[in-house]
Structure 1
């Protein structure tokens, strides 16, 4: 990583292009990062010291073009800088290197295993996550950790625990926006997957229906008890009337 204190007249985010105008070539390259960010917004709803960028340029060298991961996570930075939000992620302004970079591989590799990996390594990004949905025999998920300035495969068994983030990341089959397939999710220390906003909503609706059903069950049992009481009283009245017809005072029994 460059020592920006030695450089003069560094450009600001407003001076730099906020896009490389390169369209994504796989819809998953947008959907997967968006899902991860939406889950973070739920589980870290009370935290404002994190930022998850999607298809946003990271400027690491004023003399180089930005590098654009499919997604990246940075900790210790404001979640919202101002009402205009971020145009790009400029390291000499943020003064904080992202802790995770994510790349979703399309049908053809786009230097995710070579140039991009080397740049993320040079920048000092702790975790590099590569998801290759096209793979059939090799692991589709690879998670690298920066050890002694080099990336070491941390694991490819899902989920993989990311100690510096306090979350795990892994694969599971689920449904998001009506699409049922394998997705990337966040996990807790025990390997339990965090729910998506869609799943959380369905869970809340199910719990509401369960509560309503239990309420109806209690009401039904109450009505049934009242009916049985009335039945018992009616039976007792018939018995007493029959005794009187026989000349027996039921009170004397």
Structure 2
């Protein structure tokens, strides 16, 4: 008896474009999600069940073009380390809807508060995060949670996301030499997770302190193996 596998008829992630080829409007649309991904890579270095995509296509229907958020987080999926990594995110392969999607608003609105919000609700993404750095009278950071197929606004900064196990928020900081307001991850106590650059600086300071202590004891740290 022949067995029919409907998934075998669908294109794979290797065959599908990784994005919609629409260029980002400004650097922040790349830098902000890249920073969030870099922080997770350090904080969750031992976890093998997550993926953070940046400007990557999410394929939910083989007959429809992909949805391409500026960033998205999926949990419960395999973390790839091979040379090809993920070329796109295909729901009929991954079997996990992203738990969080992120849009960074530029001077040109692209439906972040309307059509994209509806798309992500249809997709079933639990959290929808919108960051608009140009706002002054309205909140720059908005976080929504999907409740009964509709997004409800969450208040605070940072905002705790229990299903993720982290909070997301904004504050002033420096990344790649650029000092401005950035989005960061926080733990349950509200402490911001360090960036890779900050971790390196912290390690260098500890090494300097240790070297000074050794010198005060008459030991040259440069001679230690």
Task: Give runs of aligned pairs for residues 7-156 of structure 1, distance below 5 A.
Answer: 9-80=9-80, 82-155=82-155
- Aligned 8 A contact 2:144 2:151 in 1: yes
Give structure 1 stretches of 5+ with no counterpart. Answer: 221-253
Q: Which residue of 1 aligns with 2:208?
A: 209
Q: CA deviation at 1:6?
A: 7.5
- Aligned 8 A contact 2:58 2:68 in 1: yes
Distance 2:130 2:58 in 1: 18
Q: Which has the higher contact order (CA 8 A, sep 6+)?
A: 2
Moved over 4 A (4+): 5-8
Compute the TM-score of the two structures, normalised by the length of structure 2.
0.91
Q: Which residue of 2 aligns with 1:232?
A: none
After alignment, is 195-204 or 211-220 more displaced?
211-220
Q: Deviations over 1:178-231 (max 9, x none)?
A: 1000000000000000100000000110111111122223339xxxxxxxxxxx
Q: CA deviation at 1:87?
A: 1.1
Give the 3-state SS of the residue equivalent to 1:219 in structure 2. Answer: coil
Higher-Rg structure is 1
Q: Deviations over 1:96-128 (max 9, x none)?
A: 100000000001211111111111101110000
The answer to which structure has the higher helix fraction is: 1
Q: CA deviation at 1:13?
A: 1.7
Distance 2:92 2:163 in 1: 22
Superposition RMSD in Å? 1.7
Give structure 2 stretches of 5+ with no counterpart. Answer: 220-225
Distance 2:33 2:19 in 1: 17
Q: Deviations over 1:75-114 (max 9, x none)?
A: 0101107431111101011111000000000012111111
